[in-house]
Structure 1
Amino acid sequence: MAGSSHGHTPAAWTGVIIAFIGFCVAGVFMVAAQPAGFWAGMALILLGGVVGGIMRMMGLGQPKHTHPVHEAKG
């Protein structure tokens, strides 16, 4: 996939950054034995996926490639 821009979009970066922050928050609170903070971090992880999906629907993600249909001639 040389030359591909897969994942290099605002939607992808935003979703991954939010999910990474959620992962860090959940990890800290898990070590600190604070279940409420852990679940808040887990919610942030899910929020990252939702925000990335919404941004993709808004046109900030990678466009879908359509393949032309070749009909047999003859």
Structure 2
Amino acid sequence: MSGSAHGHTTAAWTGVTICFIGFMVAGVAMVIPVPWLVVAGLVVAVVGPLIGKALAAAGFGKKPDSGHLAPAAPKASVGSGVSS
């Protein structure tokens, strides 16, 4: 997966961070019973992927033509170690 740069973009990190914050707020709000804060946290969690997609569309996502893989180096022939 590291070769495809999956998730290694500003758009991906921002979307995941916003979702994480939303779920954390909703989780804490469930423990201290505040129903409106639970709903607000879940709304923030739903907005996270939308912001991530918007950032990707704005150019902060993975570029379709960028290759993160290095070109393969030519392999040297390996002998048997026996000289003639």
Residue aligning to 2:11:
11
Give the drift of 1:49: 1.0
Residue aligning to 2:54:
54
Pairwise CA RMSD: 1.3
Residue aligning to 2:64:
64
Give the drift of 1:42: 0.4
Bigger fraction of residues in helix: 1
For residues 61 and 2 of structure 1, do their structure 2 counterparts lie closer, same or farther at Cα, with a shift above 3 Å needed? closer
Whole-Å separation in 1 of the counterparts to 2:59 and 2:3: 21
Structure 2 unmatched ranges of 5 or more? 66-84
Percent same amino acid among aligned pairs?
A: 48
- The 3-state SS of whatever aligns with 1:3 is helix
For residues 26 and 55 of structure 1, do their structure 2 counterparts lie closer, same or farther at Cα, with a shift above 3 Å needed? same
Aligned runs of 1:33-48 on 2, under 5 Å? Answer: 33-48=33-48
Bigger-Rg structure (1/2) = 2
The total of aligned residue pairs comes to 65
Per-residue CA distance 1:31-53 (angstroms, 9 max, x = gap):
11111000000011011111101
Whole-Å separation in 1 of the counterparts to 2:5 and 2:48: 20
Structure 1 unmatched ranges of 5 or more? 66-74
